């Protein structure tokens, strides 16, 4: 894989490094909880020549992240996929509790696949080739494989040819649930949040590549915190 067609940004910093003065402790600075993201740096570099690039952030909306992209002249869309999924599942459970069991099999209506299909009838409803970049963060770790596969299919469709997806994968179940807020071009802040979903699985490398099978190239960065950052090009 040759990602060197463009002039490279300055030499990559260590995968995990404190970006503020202070001690470094593995994945994050103890006081600020930040991590250095070479995947983000590469992600931004890929879009650096696209005027008014469109970015989809699948995490919650943050002032810092919005400002970061708007200052670059990008257009940012946010769609808190995990939050939307949780609301959807709660609503479905509520609906099924109230529905009679005689219409169809209760278990069939609650199957993950059918839930995923129904979820995507309303979620990620963007036109094809809409975005030059998608920030998926570590969300795929929290979805059932059947849901993740459908989400990836949808992301592939809405991604512009040549566009990139940045996804993070934990090598072990994380101790806490975090959301990610961009601080600068290669630093993200880990924001502790109430647990929206239980960590579903640890992806093996082969499973990651299967998940992104439609994408034509990939690049992986492994941090000292054992979080793998994958950059996948459509």
Smallest distance, Å, CB 99 to another protein?
A: 26
Question: Toward another protein, which CB reaches closer, 17 or 157?
Answer: 157
Question: Toward another protein, which CB reaches closer, 62 or 201?
Answer: 62
Interacting residues of 202 by C-beta distance below 8 A, sequence separation 6+: 141, 169, 170, 171, 172, 173
Judge whether 224 and 15 are in contact, CB under 8 Å: yes
Question: Toward another protein, which CB reaches closer, 16 or 182?
Answer: 182
Question: Toward another protein, which CB reaches closer, 70 or 110?
Answer: 70
Question: Toward another protein, which CB reaches closer, 64 or 110?
Answer: 64
Smallest distance, Å, CB 104 to another protein?
A: 30
Smallest distance, Å, CB 175 to another protein?
A: 21
Smallest distance, Å, CB 23 to another protein?
A: 26
Question: Toward another protein, which CB reaches closer, 115 or 158?
Answer: 158
End-to-end CA distance of the chain: 14
Smallest distance, Å, CB 202 to another protein?
A: 18
Smallest distance, Å, CB 121 to another protein?
A: 15
Judge whether 164 and 217 are in contact, CB under 8 Å: no
Interface residues with another protein (CB under 8 A) are 1-6, 46-47, 49-54, 60-63, 66, 70, 75-80, 83-84, 126-132, 160-162, 191, 205, 209, 213, 216-218, 233
Smallest distance, Å, CB 80 to another protein?
A: 6
Task: Give the angle 200-202-204 at the CA atoms, nearest 5°.
Answer: 140
Question: Toward another protein, which CB reaches closer, 66 or 197?
Answer: 66
């Amino acid at each position: 894989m040759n990602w060197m067609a463009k002039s490279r940004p300055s030499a990559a910093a260590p995968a995990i490094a404190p970006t503020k003065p202070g001690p470094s402790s593995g994945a994050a600075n103890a006081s600020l909880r930040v991590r250095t993201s070479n995947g983000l740096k590469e992600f931004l570099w890929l879009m650096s020549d696209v005027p008014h690039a469109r970015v989809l952030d699948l995490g919650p909306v943050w002032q810092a992240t919005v400002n970061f992209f708007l200052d670059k002249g990008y257009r940012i869309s946010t769609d808190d996929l995990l939050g939307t999924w949780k609301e959807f599942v709660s609503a479905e459970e509520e609906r099924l509790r109230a529905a009679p069991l005689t219409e169809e099999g209760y278990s069939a209506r609650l199957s993950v696949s059918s839930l995923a299909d129904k979820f995507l009838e309303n979620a990620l409803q963007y036109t094809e080739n809409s975005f030059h970049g998608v920030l998926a963060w570590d969300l795929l770790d929290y979805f059932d494989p059947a849901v993740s596969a459908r989400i990836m299919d949808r992301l592939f469709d809405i991604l512009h040819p040549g566009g990139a997806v940045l996804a993070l994968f934990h090598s072990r179940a994380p101790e806490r649930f975090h959301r990610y807020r961009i601080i600068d071009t290669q630093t993200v802040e880990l924001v502790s949040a109430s647990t929206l979903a239980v960590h579903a699985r640890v992806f093996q490398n082969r499973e990651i590549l299967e998940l992104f099978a439609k994408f034509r190239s990939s690049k992986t960065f492994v941090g000292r915190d054992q979080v793998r950052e994958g950059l996948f090009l459509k």
